[in-house]
Amino acid sequence: MSGEEERDWSEFPAELLHLIAQKLPNLVDFIRLRAVCTSWRSSAPLSDPPHQFPWLLELFDRGSFSSLRRKQRFYSVSSGETLTIPIKNKKLNLYRFIHGGVYSGYLPFNDDTGRTFSFFNPLTRDSFSLPPMCHRRGFSPWMVWTGTDTIRTRCIIVVDRDMWIGNEMGKWALYDPSSNTWVENEGYFYQCCYWDGLFFSTCLYFPTLVFDARTKKLLHEIPPPEIESNENWYDKDNIARHLRKSYLVESSGVILRVIWHHDSGYYMDKKPIENSVFYIYRLDFKRAHGKSCWVRIGDIGDQILFLGEMNGFSMTARPNSGFRKGCIYFIHSSTNKPYMHDILAGTVERVPCPFERCTWFLPGLR
């Protein structure tokens, strides 16, 4: 208004600005806030960004590899906004964008040999590369993200995608940041997760193998839940078995095995997704007679599970996040569209999204 003195927003109280910054639902707004002036930037350090929930990353081509468009689109479920972020990095023109994982902060690329991996953060423009892996003829890697803080801890796992069909023993490799080398091993890796130095891998109706990720020592071999062992659950010789998926997810220090059963026969995308049933099991180490086993649970409390193509992660629910506690948010295996399963209600509904195909991306600044 006329007659009023112009406010100097650089003198806005730092403690209040920090509280406001922590409430921002979108990291893009956090970056814009930091760009206002020096005092605002110091009040909202990159080391303390607001807690973020996943975005949906638009996918273009089917298959494990795809070209990345120069303008990548993301959808924030929390704010309902579609974000278009330019990808200006000439080096990435020589690399292939890898589909298949749940992305945490950085987008993964690799070169034509399949040995060298590079990572690019679309928000900060930061990038880094890992040392080449040992050459293996016919190696077609699949990037497996292992949690919501993968990049900071550099707990990055890659598996040999050429060998995953048919539940065969295959190759997997863990990047060890302490030695800047890859640790390679064999094992089932249809679904994987990493937690506290342990690598978990499994297949439907196969045992879960637990390795010391760096020594490669097999520590546990845990039988699958009874429902997966029941031959009457479905015909193992029928191709429809591939439409049942078993995920391993670390959730607040607990390992969960989430089984998605969609009774749809051969044509998964032609049957109602509402037919989906989820079974959730918690890993109990040394529960009965010193043996580890899976224990069926009926809910996950205030946690939220996010499932991608081959793996997933868990987050604690927060108000105004756009996500409901006690639910499973998953990407449809055939259509790559997002859905939500309410565990207690037993219902499934579509998650609003403007993209034809997408996957989860957890935004991060480091």
Q: What angle do CA 73, 78, 80 make, to 5 degrees?
A: 55
More confident residue, 140 or 293: 293
| pLDDT for 333 | 77
Residues 6+ apart with CB under 8 A from 327: 304, 305, 340, 341, 342, 343
Q: How confident is the model at residue 213 (pLDDT cuts 50, 70, 90)?
A: confident
Gap between the Cα atoms of 70 and 51, Å rounded: 27
Tell me, yes or no, whether 13 and 90 share the same domain: no
Residues 202 and 288 occupy one common structural domain = yes
Cα distance between residue 191 and residue 199, in whole Å: 11
Q: Are residues 107 and 246 in the same domain?
A: yes
Say if CB 355 and CB 83 are below 8 A apart. no
Q: Which residue has the tokens 């699949």?
A: 142
Main-chain phi, psi angles of 51, to 5 degrees = -65, 130
pLDDT at 62: 53
- Could you tell me if 135 and 26 lie in one domain? no
Mean of per-residue pLDDT scores for the chain: 76
Q: Are residues 39 and 107 in the same domain?
A: no
Cβ atoms 300, 323 nearer than 8 A: no
Indicate if 38 and 177 belong to the same structural domain: no
pLDDT(197) > 90: no
Residues 220 and 319 reside in one and the same domain? yes
- Residue 242: the pLDDT is 43
What residues make up the domain containing 326?
Answer: 51-362
Give the percent of the chain with pLDDT over 70: 71
- Both 216 and 158 in one domain: the answer is yes
Quote the Cα angle for 358-364-366, to 5°.
140
What tens digit of pLDDT does each residue of 296-343 get? 999 999 999 999 877 788 999 988 788 999 999 999 877 889 999 999
- Calculate what percentage of the chain has a pLDDT beyond 90: 16
- Final residue before a domain boundary, out of 9, 34, 50: 50
Claim to verify: residue 153 and residue 294 sit in the same structural domain: yes
Q: When comparing pLDDT for 208 and 90, which is higher? A: 208
Q: By mean pLDDT, which of 117-121, 218-222, 269-273 is the weakest?
A: 269-273
What is residue 295's predicted lDDT score, i.e. its pLDDT? 92
Angle between helices 14-23 and 27-34 (to 10 degrees): 160
Question: Structural domain tally of the chain?
Answer: 2
Identify the residue with better confidence: 288 or 354: 354
**b (16+ CB within 10 A) / e for 188-221:** bbbbbbbbeeebbbbbbbbebbbbebeeeeeebe
Pick the more confident residue, 140 or 349.
349
Residues 6+ positions from 331 with CB-CB distance below 8 Å: 307, 308, 309, 337, 338, 339, 358, 359, 360
Q: Are residues 31 and 174 in the same domain?
A: no
At residue 289 the predicted structure's pLDDT band, cuts being 50, 70 and 90, is: low
pLDDT value of position 274: 74
Contact 175, 127 (CB under 8 A): no
pLDDT grade, residue 1 (50/70/90)? very low
d(CA 103, CA 101): 6
Contact 249, 313 (CB under 8 A): yes
Q: Check whether 236 has a pLDDT greater than 50.
A: no
Same domain, 19 and 82: no
pLDDT of residue 144: 57
CATH code: domain of residue 131: 2.120.10
